[in-house]
Amino acid sequence: MKSSCFIIGSCHGLLCSKFRRTGFYVSNLSTKESKRIPEPEVKFWFWDDFCCVMGFGYDHSVDDYKLVTADKKSFYVYSLRTDSWKKVQGLPNSHKNGAIPVAPGVPLNGAIHWIYNDRGSIKIVAFCLADEKFWEFPDPIPSMEFIDALGLLGGCLCITPYNNGRELWVMKEYGVAQAWTKVAIEIPCYRIRLLALLENHEVILKIDSEKLVLYNSRERTYRYLVLRNFPDVENCTFEGAYVESMVSPCHGSLS
């Protein structure tokens, strides 16, 4: 029986994943290289059988790829270059309050970003991979009761509201609270669900539970996607974007 797999994230062509039975892996799907990450001594905080506090990104200051995870009391960072884990000092306030991120962390500007629903208030927390410190994005965040996902659109942080697939909120200027901008999705249909945020202001949408659409949020144009041997569209859920590269997961370096 194959192990269930949870995709943590991808960066520079490296895909980081967690298998329920066999642990963490960093892989390059283009070169077919793969590296198993040693298990940390962590009492994981699980959500649907997987630790819900995870993130994978690139630390440009030391040319290294890092995996971040946590339990209720501490955060831990794995370095691909040194093949070792370390405990991080300090916790974000939302984590101290017992809040749980709604999705895996998003890498941007050398940091991993999580979105917390902290006592009914939506908070974005960033963890800088270089100095290994936390900081919280300034309020206000667009008013919405629930968040479906935090992602990237056109190189900017993007929030998708739960059960409202007809709009996205994009932070046009990084770290500026007043920079949130609503992007309306203009497609004639009854129901929309976001599947993936891509580069060049494009998103993949599932509409009316039966069709896939590639939508350009800048030009407000779209086209239907027809993929051979693709799984049942109705069962598709949110996934991220993957870019091919020749980076080796065994060396832990971009160079």
Smallest CA-to-CA distance from 173 within 144, 197, 137, 198 is with 137
Find out whether the peptide bond into 142 is cis, omega within 30 degrees of 0.
no
pLDDT of residue 109: 94
pLDDT at residue 239 is higher than 70: no
The residues near 201 (Cβ < 8 Å, ≥ 6 apart) are: 153, 154, 216, 217, 218, 219
Pairing status of strand 134-136 against strand 147-153:
unpaired
Q: Residue 52 has what pLDDT? A: 64
Render pLDDT for 129-188 as a digit per residue (tens, 0 to 9).
999 999 998 877 777 767 777 888 778 898 877 766 677 888 999 989 889 988 888 887
The reply to whether the predicted model has a pTM over 0.75 is yes
Which contiguous run of DSSP H or E holds residue 156? strand 156-161
Phi, psi of 233 (to 5 degrees): -60, -35
Alpha-carbon gap, residue 147 to 160, rounded angstroms: 6
